[in-house]
């Protein structure tokens, strides 16, 4: 496993996990998948039951697979742009910054490496470990169509990736920005 800097090599406020079995880091993989119509069509068709439940409970209207693909592509572009702007603001010590986009996952009270999720406008989620204020390592993300992350196999995988990254960071003694430099 490696930690890859996404923004500013000399001030890595935003990094991502690169798992040994993968060719791409989690940040790059997320945003490429969220722009890939074929990937999205396969995802929404495979998870049609979850999309239908989302339609009933959250959207309260019918969102077709085609509309879900279009919505995800638009929101993925917006989310990536916002995240990069916040990373730039963080580097330049301006507001809003990365901390203002993050929320503790499941409201956990942890004091070392805190898993965070960054929300898009709807179902897009980016999961990350916070090393210190405004310093994050992206562990993965998902299109969250269910109430709880644990409600799907791909959600459970995201929780495993958070734990795996936290374990790796502890193993190499990386508890803050200095550990990434």
Cα separation of 174 and 23, whole Å? 23
User: 14-23 pLDDT, tens per residue?
Assistant: 999 999 989 9
Cα separation of 127 and 138, whole Å? 6
Residue with tokens 């998902």: 142
Cα separation of 76 and 27, whole Å? 12
Residue with tokens 């990536």: 80
CA 155 to chain centre: 12
User: 57-89 pLDDT, tens per residue?
Assistant: 887 788 999 999 999 999 999 999 989 999 999
Helices (H), 10-152: 26-33, 37-46, 48-54, 65-91
Q: Is the model's pTM score more than 0.85?
A: yes
Q: So what's the pLDDT on residue 42?
A: 98
* Structural tokens at position 128: 């990350």
Q: Please give the average per-residue pLDDT across 107-130, as a whole number.
A: 67
103 with 117: CB under 8 angstroms? Answer: yes
**Lowest-pLDDT range, 59-68, 97-106, 123-132, 150-159?**
97-106
Q: So what's the pLDDT on residue 67?
A: 96
- State the Rg of the chain over Cα: 16
Pairing of strands 114-119, 124-132: antiparallel
**Lowest-pLDDT range, 36-50, 97-111, 127-141, 144-158?**
97-111
């Amino acid at each position: 496993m490696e930690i890859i800097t996404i923004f500013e090599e000399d001030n890595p406020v935003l990094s991502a996990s690169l798992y040994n079995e993968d060719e791409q880091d989690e940040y790059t993989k997320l945003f490429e998948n969220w722009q890939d119509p074929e990937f999205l069509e396969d995802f929404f068709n495979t998870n049609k039951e979850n999309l239908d439940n989302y339609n009933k409970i959250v959207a309260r209207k019918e969102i077709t697979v085609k509309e879900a693909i279009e919505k995800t592509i638009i929101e993925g572009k917006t989310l990536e742009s916002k995240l990069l702007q916040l990373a730039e603001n963080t580097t330049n010590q301006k507001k809003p910054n990365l901390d203002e986009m993050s929320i503790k996952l499941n409201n956990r009270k942890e004091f070392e490496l805190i898993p965070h999720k960054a929300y898009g406008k709807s179902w897009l989620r980016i999961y990350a470990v916070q090393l210190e204020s405004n310093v994050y390592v992206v562990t993965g993300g998902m299109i969250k169509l269910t109430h709880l992350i644990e409600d799907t196999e791909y959600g459970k995988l995201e929780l495993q990736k958070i734990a795996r990254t936290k374990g790796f960071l502890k193993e190499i003694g990386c508890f803050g920005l200095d550990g990434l430099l």
